[in-house]
Chains A and B, each alone.
Chain A
Amino acid sequence: MALFGIPDSFKVAGFHIRDVQNSEATPTLDDVTYAIEMMSPSIHGALRFCGLFIVGIAAQITIHESSPMFFGVFHLLPVSWLATRILVLLGVQAELVTRHLAQGFCRLDLSGVHYAVTHECTGIIAVFILAAAVMAYPVALRERARGLLLAIPAVTLFGVLRLVILGIVAQARPLWIEVFHVYIMELVTIAFAMFVFIYWVEEAHGRDRH
């Protein structure tokens, strides 16, 4: 609809501009969608990916919080158990107590000192991050499936390694456990997750070229 000869909306340099002063209508979802579509492909692609990534992470957190026992049995317990076995093989006096699993943690006894192993300790965030990033990336479904098959076992095994390292640090340098847990292992976890993600992105593009 035109008002005093000025159209309600018009395009300037690829953007959808609404004559806000003369129009009583507030921007609609269509306006926003159109504005995003008119952005440069660079920003449009990144915004779409980031939006889908947020949705993916939020969905996984919701599922995680609504069924903690599922993740306890299928992630926390196997990762903790395998890490404990490796610690024992490495000569660390380690024992895993699983009776607290329903409360969201396993107890790892290292030479008489008790540590609560939570989901956070097993690096489950890396699993969620990679799964969300793979699902959000603009690839065909079979590439996504290939990505998940690569990413989930890789970061789960990394979770085992992470717990083994934390166990060794807790045994050898107990005062360092906090900085290892909160900073160094978080940093290494994100680095490893992005290593796997970049590798998969490049592989997917390589297959596409061939």
Chain B
Amino acid sequence: MKIIVCIKQVPERDAQVRIDSSGKWIEESDIQFAMNESDAYALEEALQLKEKHGGEVVILSAGPERAGTTIREALAKGADRAIQVESDNLNTLDALGVAQLLSAAAKQESPDLVLTGLQSDDMGYGQTGVIMAELMDLPHASLILNVEKTDSGITVKRELEEGWFQNIDLPLPAVLMIQSGGTKLRYATLMGIKKAKTKELSKVSAADFGASDAPGAPAAPAATLEKITQPPKQKSTQIIPGSPKEAAATLVEKLKFEVRII
């Protein structure tokens, strides 16, 4: 099986994000970046499928130069090669625009399976894989925890709300959006990190794919991000001051006399 895994580099979880001077994006200079969480699970699923059935795992990532470190991390974990769609202004595109870039690159590879994460930790659209399926004219399923190969295609386990699940049969090729938690993640080995340095990373510029070449593409984004703000504060939380010891003592008092629970 030839599997494409879409991996996005996003601000690290604990990064202190600040709004930049344009008011439309965050200050990128002072934060660290990491692999999007559900993408790590998509990669793991792909590597396990390859181990069982053979084939190739190709990383596809759109982003600026810095995304290269995350791509190398994926290669170190065992992916075979990578394609980077270089773009410095992804945040000015909408989910359709990004999906157009990714699907244009993915189509050229004629994969059997395309895996994306469920949701990016920065934009949080939760859409890119579903849109890619539409643009590539492939069947899809989202919120997937597990993938099994069958004679006629694949069977996937889909998470439903409130603790329910469902299995779905799909023919190949197909696009899946992978939810986190379906399997255990591996770490990159020293050997893997060494090997990753020599693996192929081909770069294409976003301009080469000219989003407008894609079928039915709008010239401009269908939705524009006008401004970014701090979320409004709705609730007045009583922040308990003092050293850990003092704060703990005060909280116990409050639980006793204000909340009356202990």
Q: Do A and B bind each other?
A: no
